[in-house]
Structure 1
């Protein structure tokens, strides 16, 4: 105990910060699995039960895990495998084959990878398998040998499952699902995909061999759980080398979770996306701001990280516009307010701009109409405005109907950050009647 204390006293702030960043980055970059799948409890239970039936009872299964990117499909599967492999009889017995549609681009490559992962490469006894057909026959025979009690269960995990459906004749999918249906060898085929219509891609003979089990990841996460996950992800565990630093850090995180500004930031991110990938991106940016001079996380770090992670591409384009182009955007914003979002044309925008010049502006030069039209066309090229009819309608360019592709908030935020924006232009933007 005394040795531990003396060791703790030798840790500098720099060493502690370095260790904190290492631990948290490992968490946020998906190298470390969470304790439990938040918001996906029922799906986790279902998947675990299916895999357990194959691993323990020798029952063949096939299942698809369907959900958008970042929903936690791979995480869910890895958690289920982790819990299952904690059982010693399962760990010794189960074989796993991991394939990806992005890497195994045809059935021949996929079969070679299966053979490699099952350690059945090329030579068994004195036999050498050269061709695809021989290799396939051998592999299927190897899986089908023996009865349920003497065959080792095999999990086939197919990431990007929909890409395997594009392989010629879907030979690999057909044979895997055929083995899982034949029940001669205990096999679980688990496909992970983002496509809801994935079954429509399968041939009839493949579809007939699939169990039609699907696990949909529709995240039912509540904001309170999201907040709890935020605190948990940033909290250091008890085995951190410097207990004093760890206690101070955790106390600071607890206070941070209760701050109103932090709750507002989290609510904003939760409203736009409930997946943990976006939360981890936010936390990674925030954690990268801690240093020896700033050893604890502050609300300002999260605010800056939030600004960086939710940077608005269209809003950023506004910062590079000329004053004339910015004035045209403001004129369009006013037209949107006056006519409640109805489309406008160049002539209407030009009239609005001229009104501003006559009434309020002392800092903006009175541009000729062709120059203003050139600026209007530049906004069209930048896709900040777009034609209502897609540019098909044969009318004069000045009278072609357009829509502004920015909302009120984006325009106002960009104006606040615009370098050296004239005061009368800002006042015109916030005025109610243009």
Structure 2
């Protein structure tokens, strides 16, 4: 007779594994939620919707008034790449389509693809045909497409339907004869048409590229997209990374996650990482890339973010070969770099190898250091720094035998130099003290 297997209660080890597996599932869901937020530029810019001074509010008012009053408008959205121009446009259109589902028709063009007038008119005609379920002819001539576009503008105006034309990379449409821009803006001068032209460009002088006949028909409205302030960045971080309390996540986990995140955001070291990031590129898209990497590094066992996640994300985002070179630099090379930095701090605009050696001697005499090198040894270290491109000549006449007489400059910032000094294991303490004294951190 076969014995039945004995049934033992689950051991403490298997129970802990099961609890850990549940925690991993919650952490994965939280990570997926944060990733979806960070991959959606519109979600990031939605945090500023409530502000009446935001570009979202201004653009929404402009388009909604054009729809309500059946008038024509044109506007330029100007700002550096990654500042959220297109994201704000998409956010406004999404809200207006929900409010006016049958009163908007959107045409999207990109200067990288449609800068040619004939190509642009053909693409506008194709999109209008798709929007209004009409048959599009690929064999139509440029004049036929132009006439069709003008007729559609008139018909949509009679039907109280606003056509919104988005011209991304607007400055590329100003090349050539600008026939497309003239046709659109000239058609908007009539009372029958009902359209809004939105130009998007990273060139702040995009309106100055327009011909005089087109500039006279343009409304000269411009919205500038600038990097967010520190207060806006703090508000954006909380909006992007805090878990919602009214969600399917366990309340204790949400409370602990948000508490840990608040501690990180208020940490001085995190603010240093954030300042270093914003000093290089203060755009919202750059911030989203850093946060996405940090969330990807999240510890899945605890399900919580840590300061190390953000530090690792920053180091991975910005590889710093100059700082890597400083880690292997000799003591003499570090002295030369510090002397050059001191000369630039004293606003000495022009200096050469001989000036650097005078500063080096002044440090040696003042602090009685044991690091004293011959002039020819210093010159070889100076040449090595030139080869590594940590320093460079201020003019093009530097490739001569007597390089010690030609003006030079630092090719690294004070922050990078300080990081290099702290990461170099052989760096004398006196050099770091000099930076502490001069507040170079």
TM-score by length of 1: 0.79
Cα distance in 1 between the residues matched to 2:407 and 2:233: 44
- Residues 97 and 156 of structure 1 are in contact (CA less than 8 Å); yes or no, is this contact kept in structure 2? yes
**What does 1:238-253 correspond to in 2, within 5 Å?**
238=245, 240-244=247-251, 245-253=253-261
TM-aligned CA deviation for residue 325 of structure 1: 3.6
Is residue 59 of structure 2 the alignment partner of residue 37 of structure 1?
no
The two structures, once aligned, show a CA RMSD in angstroms of: 3.8
Q: Which of 80, 83, 92 does residue 68 from structure 1 map onto?
A: 80
Q: Which of 224, 229, 239 does residue 236 from structure 2 map onto?
A: 229
Is residue 155 of structure 2 the alignment partner of residue 145 of structure 1?
yes
62-71 or 182-191: bigger deviation: 62-71
- Residues 38 and 225 of structure 1 are in contact (CA less than 8 Å); yes or no, is this contact kept in structure 2? no
1:260-293 CA-to-partner distances (Å, cap 9, x unmatched) read 5445555665677654333323322321221323
Q: Which of 286, 293, 311 does residue 278 from structure 1 map onto?
A: 286
Any stretches of 5+ residues in structure 2 without a counterpart? 1-18
Cα distance in 2 between the residues matched to 1:60 and 1:80: 17
Change (3 A) 1:344 1:158: same
Change (3 A) 1:28 1:120: closer
226-235 or 111-120: bigger deviation: 111-120
SS in 2 for 1:20: helix
- Residues 66 and 72 of structure 2 are in contact (CA less than 8 Å); yes or no, is this contact kept in structure 1? yes
**What does 1:285-324 correspond to in 2, within 5 Å?**
285-309=293-317, 312=320, 314-321=322-329, 324=332
Q: Which of 134, 159, 168 does residue 168 from structure 2 map onto?
A: 159
Change (3 A) 1:10 1:174: farther
250-259 or 64-73: bigger deviation: 250-259
TM-aligned CA deviation for residue 234 of structure 1: 0.5
96-105 or 306-315: bigger deviation: 306-315
- Residues 152 and 185 of structure 1 are in contact (CA less than 8 Å); yes or no, is this contact kept in structure 2? no
**What does 1:281-430 correspond to in 2, within 5 Å?**
281-309=289-317, 312=320, 314-321=322-329, 324-333=332-341, 341-350=348-357, 360-361=369-370, 369=376, 372-391=378-397, 396-418=402-424, 420-421=425-426, 425-427=428-430, 430=433
Cα distance in 2 between the residues matched to 1:94 and 1:292: 45
Is residue 35 of structure 2 the alignment partner of residue 25 of structure 1?
yes
Is residue 215 of structure 2 the alignment partner of residue 207 of structure 1?
yes
Cα distance in 2 between the residues matched to 1:268 and 1:190: 34
TM-aligned CA deviation for residue 81 of structure 1: 1.5
Change (3 A) 1:410 1:271: closer
**What does 1:94-105 correspond to in 2, within 5 Å?**
94-105=104-115
